Structure 1
């Protein structure tokens, strides 16, 4: 018998939308969606089929920018070239590690599988017609040059320290930049560990030549934890004359020396940073980092400290965070403006004193020009002989709206992508460690009501729970990578799955249009609705959502039957956007019900509970929005007087069936919510909170 404390039970019920200001959510199962799969049982010409039951770890997905129909997949000992629409295998290449290295890896204490294999973690379309590929190489990273059409070797292999991780379960980042580098060369940037035992984290640019000039490699100081301290990288981005990288790490400035606190960071380097004197020639002069603050405000802010993914759209960064709690875990989504990041980077630094405390560095102690000033590097106006003493900024980067735009308890969200913006509307897709995709609708409108976020739908992509390791979006499709398969979800095909009772799901999807003339939901990309068109463009505030969804022919009168002395539940229609301040009336004259705990109770969702129902309670009930009288529900209540043992028995059977259904829902929600309540996420490697 498992006993649950009341606070935990309330948390579970809240996370399961049993009460509170929850929004209507449409749940799609695998059979409801247009999904195509590629998995470890799918055949590919030219390579041997995997051993039965073998997991191939499809953790690295790259949508080709040069070949419009290609999706590259990095897996264990393999690289696949798939048709991104049909998900059929176009080509594949086996890239096994050296046998001696596999044996050496195992002798050093690593598992034969998956550790001592070659997991492809970098795929770059570098030289014309050529791919650069990097794999973990059984804890000895190795790079390959492959023909992008045939996947045959087009060059020799090489050790690639600092370009991809040793540990296949580590996060890493890679970015190819073709502008702004010295000599305007095309150069890659990498963030990973450069040694077997993870003592040397590195954000790194390898050496290269351009226009007859040789440029040395550049990297962070691997011997000074003030630069990087056990980081896990989540993404890097080209920002003009700078490169941004995002990661989480053990906080060096946390006041409790005995506690290992994780903070999330954004760091930058200047592309034209040429290093300093002889001892610092290979180190960044311009490296600086700042903490990303994603927290719920309050006397004691509830901080989400572990960044898990990052997505850039225009000058806005969408970041997914996670917090491990004593009883339950929680995830949050925060938005950061590039301008706010730049403002923090232009501020003062922090410095660690000999006493171990940190203090703000004055401008006088950091004379101009600063080493992080990229203009100085770009114009070659100043030569720096030594490294800066300071890397950590004094200020934090605060999120837009000073809080998360969405958070959810009891769920670990691991990956996110953001759909294109259409007149201020967009959908955000987040993946969980259970394989579900959470579809959020985001609307930005006038300054007095800056934003709203609605959990619109949840997609269950896989038959059994499995963590999503990679998530990509391109035009009309999501691409999802797990350890056992790759899935493609057609986002436009979701539109016609919304029924008449799910109009809100259609309207709160920037890709869809609701045609009220024929009660159908169609994709924006292919559909034309000449009359009765309702879509996210009409939403300028919460009122217009309600007005758009208040369609008389859909709002049918519900019928409810209840026995004398029983309790009645009168709900708001499923398709109606949930609101508070609901007024319930009875009869044709619209008598307003007097609310009381003993008789009439209205929930936060707007539903009406009638306790101890009697004959006089029989009649028609109507729910309206308090401030403007918009119709939200119509219910006809019939009160039955059992006049036989058979009818009474039927009533009790119905009560039992209703209770069983409710208990079944709660049990299912309990399983999902408490499946990860040990205080730690489900890990495959104690060194990381999440695999790539």
Structure 2
């Protein structure tokens, strides 16, 4: 079942090992490069890879019951602001901001359009940008200011601009107090950037010029600060995420609050032939005022370090795509969750890593610095700084120790400290992940965005539930149980693949909001009603869901109404077993009733059986014995296919699924079929209703099946090759006959026959509504490519088409598949 799941998603179960570093003029020696791979980019072992490469337990394909919002002609729904106090989701798109009902985003409550002027658009086009794509006003910034006001910025045809917006009496209104948006909002509508509003101060990370060549981390306030224009500070970065950590709260050292920034950039510390991208975390102090002489109006507290999130194969460093901060009342226990993707197009492995805020702070407060040194007269290398570090420590906020020496603000810091941090903002060590390795490793569609909900389960513990958006419009819902990452389900949000560009979470309403180019989608954090049986509800191991014994339903237990019923978990009213997946408390399910069917010899019979879980493995039992998959009985992800059934195939077929949960194997009978031989001519088939929970009406006996039928078995592929050989022989003979006809015409000896023989049989398409198709000599079947030809012993080869994931073909030969009426051609005019 696992292999079939991977193949269905276009994935290979095997791992490809391919180092991809190229040497350059100043490249590392082979031993140094090996050290980088073995130490810096330490891969996980093969066994760890198999453990971490999670597969979603359940796949939920696109359903038309999701709340969707979009308007015709409007694109790029990529900016969101959740206003639970107003009951709104503010949605920014191209030249428009919507106020949507937070409980049902398909309901538009207000809208304000913010278009560029013709003059701005012409000026943008004159500078070489596309008039209808880039030279528009893309809303990139939406922040809450106070109860009814928001701060909004747009790209404004590569001339960023900002304004205040109010929501009052059901209307959105721009105040037209326009402000320069340079440094607050990107010029390029498709460039990554990040910002956060702290009080009345806007912290932003973007490019400050038209070309995008001057990156800056800026605080827009009465005491504005920015980064230095030096590659050692920022080197062609892609900004991802910003957030505030209130580190001054209950801090015995009197430390300051800090703003953390996550981004990727070209590494200055590694000397490779090509540019090497690394992921970074940086921080600045909230009360930083800049330096008195050195670093005037510049950050004195800007420090950065590399993020370590090693991929499970020799590869270049992964690139951070999105980050989410799970805040704790004790800020030292807050955790950053980050998603990473490979920078090489030859890899499709995404990872999720977690970083404790205390570990990041410890590295900045006590770690070694890197310093540039000049070698070979002009080449610069970065090495660990081993000299004396000045006091106060460079990059530190003003704390009690600094105040005791008379330094009340960064303006009082000595030049020696400021010069050190100006030249050496990079730490030598990397920030290790919380668990020492990635929480989640996943092959397939790359991860794009991430949000995390902190859920209180019935066992009294809190669990971080990750909602991960992908480039093909899916959301992966995952949770970590005692070091084991478990993907509860994957949900397809968009009918056609569309990359998720933004995600927001509302714990109070229990909703997740995603935005893409196409539109915005609202998804509930849980859909417990999807699990109809107690066994399926408990094995889902969803912190939101539990089986209510009194109601006989899988219910949402994360609502506040259950807060006082946590103790009921122990009395057995509600069943939930997240870590163990223990189903022993579930009531026994009804026994699956056998379905009786009549077997007609020569037919191809399909017995449907699809397990409820992608993690389950299906086994078939025939007359009490395990049934292997072979050329006669083909087991695939939707059931069992019996080819050219005979009287020996009559009997009872039982489909069982086995699912591993921790060290236990849970076996469940999914379906039972009884095939009884046809004892009289024209016997009718007995039909019964399928067992509860199955989406089938019984066996299908057909020669042309639906698009989800299985691929070819190996033996059938070899038969197909023989058919191709015969077709080639037919083509050669046809050419010879054509040549003979031409010769007879040339000599004037050709005499056209007046009538064509009727010996060549006409093959007809079978009705797709057939339940049984007889495989006798009077059967009519559909040819795959050309009409079958005679072989030496006059046996004919009929070919059955099985349409699967890409036209797969079945070929079968022998007397059981003969087709009558295929005579030799008696007239060359028929060729």
TM-score, L = length of structure 1: 0.75
Aligned positions of 1:319-334 closer than 5 A: 319-334=338-353
Q: Could you say which structure has the larger radius of gyration?
A: 2
Residue 385 of structure 2, aligned match among 348, 358, 361? 361
Residue 553 of structure 1, aligned match among 583, 589, 592? 589
The answer for the alignment partner of 1:230 in structure 2 is: 236
In 2, are the aligned partners of 1:504 and 1:575 still within 8 Å (CA)?
no
The answer for the alignment partner of 2:555 in structure 1 is: 522
CA distance in 1, matches of 2:91, 2:656: 55
CA distance in 1, matches of 2:75, 2:10: 37
The answer for the alignment partner of 2:424 in structure 1 is: 390
Residue 205 of structure 1, aligned match among 219, 242, 260? 219
The answer for the alignment partner of 2:270 in structure 1 is: 254
C-alpha distance 533-460 of structure 1, shift in aligned 2 (>3 A) = farther
1:139 aligns with 2:158: yes
Aligned positions of 1:483-632 closer than 5 A: 483-492=517-526, 494-500=527-533, 503-504=536-537, 507-516=540-549, 519-524=552-557, 525=559, 533-536=573-576, 538-541=577-580, 544-545=581-582, 547=584, 552-553=588-589, 556=592, 574-575=611-612, 578=615, 631-632=667-668
Aligned positions of 1:638-677 closer than 5 A: 654=702, 657=705, 661-663=709-711, 666-667=805-806
In 2, are the aligned partners of 1:572 and 1:633 still within 8 Å (CA)?
no
In 2, are the aligned partners of 1:123 and 1:133 still within 8 Å (CA)?
yes
CA distance in 2, matches of 1:456, 1:517: 25
CA distance in 2, matches of 1:520, 1:455: 22
CA distance in 1, matches of 2:115, 2:703: 62
CA distance in 2, matches of 1:573, 1:547: 24
CA distance in 1, matches of 2:543, 2:271: 45
C-alpha distance 372-643 of structure 1, shift in aligned 2 (>3 A) = farther
SS at match of 1:291: strand
Structure 2 residues without counterparts, runs of 5 or longer: 1-5, 15-50, 247-256, 328-333, 684-697, 712-802, 808-831
The answer for the alignment partner of 2:104 in structure 1 is: 86
| Residue 39 of structure 1: how far off its partner (Å) | 1.3
SS at match of 1:308: strand
1:27 aligns with 2:60: yes
For residues 93-135 of structure 1, what are the alpha-carbon distances to aligned partners after superposition, in whole Å with 9 as ceiling and x for unaligned? 2222343322121111101122111112112222564322211
C-alpha distance 172-625 of structure 1, shift in aligned 2 (>3 A) = closer
C-alpha distance 659-133 of structure 1, shift in aligned 2 (>3 A) = closer
C-alpha distance 420-646 of structure 1, shift in aligned 2 (>3 A) = farther
| Residue 583 of structure 1: how far off its partner (Å) | 11
CA distance in 1, matches of 2:54, 2:605: 21
The answer for the alignment partner of 1:310 in structure 2 is: 323
C-alpha distance 8-621 of structure 1, shift in aligned 2 (>3 A) = closer
| Residue 637 of structure 1: how far off its partner (Å) | 6.9
CA distance in 2, matches of 1:351, 1:638: 77
1:165 aligns with 2:186: yes
For residues 220-252 of structure 1, what are the alpha-carbon distances to aligned partners after superposition, in whole Å with 9 as ceiling and x for unaligned? 112x11111111111111112211011111222
Residue 434 of structure 2, aligned match among 386, 400, 404? 400
In 1, are the aligned partners of 2:472 and 2:497 still within 8 Å (CA)?
yes
SS at match of 1:354: strand
In 1, are the aligned partners of 2:537 and 2:547 still within 8 Å (CA)?
no
Q: How many residues align?
A: 606
The answer for the alignment partner of 2:302 in structure 1 is: 287
SS at match of 1:219: coil
Aligned positions of 1:48-63 closer than 5 A: 54-63=73-82
In 1, are the aligned partners of 2:89 and 2:102 still within 8 Å (CA)?
yes
For residues 165-198 of structure 1, what are the alpha-carbon distances to aligned partners after superposition, in whole Å with 9 as ceiling and x for unaligned? 00000111111113xxxxxxx3221111100111
SS at match of 2:428: coil
Residue 131 of structure 2, aligned match among 100, 112, 120? 112
SS at match of 1:657: coil
C-alpha distance 285-532 of structure 1, shift in aligned 2 (>3 A) = same
In 1, are the aligned partners of 2:616 and 2:657 still within 8 Å (CA)?
no
The answer for the alignment partner of 2:788 in structure 1 is: none
C-alpha distance 10-455 of structure 1, shift in aligned 2 (>3 A) = closer
In 2, are the aligned partners of 1:503 and 1:514 still within 8 Å (CA)?
no
CA distance in 2, matches of 1:154, 1:659: 56
C-alpha distance 155-334 of structure 1, shift in aligned 2 (>3 A) = same
CA distance in 2, matches of 1:155, 1:408: 47
The answer for the alignment partner of 1:218 in structure 2 is: 225
The answer for the alignment partner of 1:685 in structure 2 is: none
1:460 aligns with 2:478: no
CA distance in 1, matches of 2:665, 2:476: 33
Aligned positions of 1:178-189 closer than 5 A: 178=199, 186-189=200-203
* Range with bigger deviation, 456-465 or 523-532: 523-532
CA distance in 2, matches of 1:368, 1:135: 43
TM-score, L = length of structure 2: 0.64
CA distance in 1, matches of 2:99, 2:655: 60
C-alpha distance 296-556 of structure 1, shift in aligned 2 (>3 A) = farther
SS at match of 1:165: coil
C-alpha distance 85-639 of structure 1, shift in aligned 2 (>3 A) = closer
C-alpha distance 646-227 of structure 1, shift in aligned 2 (>3 A) = farther
In 2, are the aligned partners of 1:506 and 1:513 still within 8 Å (CA)?
no
In 1, are the aligned partners of 2:277 and 2:317 still within 8 Å (CA)?
no
In 1, are the aligned partners of 2:603 and 2:701 still within 8 Å (CA)?
no
The answer for the alignment partner of 2:11 in structure 1 is: 12
The answer for the alignment partner of 1:37 in structure 2 is: 68
Aligned positions of 1:433-472 closer than 5 A: 433-440=471-478, 442-444=479-481, 450-472=482-504
SS at match of 2:611: coil
| Residue 10 of structure 1: how far off its partner (Å) | 11
The answer for the alignment partner of 2:88 in structure 1 is: 70
In 2, are the aligned partners of 1:513 and 1:535 still within 8 Å (CA)?
yes
Structure 1 residues without counterparts, runs of 5 or longer: 1-6, 42-53, 179-185, 209-214, 445-449, 669-692
The answer for the alignment partner of 1:47 in structure 2 is: none
* Range with bigger deviation, 105-114 or 423-432: 423-432
Of structures 1 and 2, the one scoring higher in RCO (CA 8 A, sep 6+) is: 1
CA distance in 2, matches of 1:128, 1:620: 63
| Residue 142 of structure 1: how far off its partner (Å) | 0.9
SS at match of 1:92: strand
| Residue 23 of structure 1: how far off its partner (Å) | 5.1
C-alpha distance 335-559 of structure 1, shift in aligned 2 (>3 A) = farther
1:352 aligns with 2:372: yes
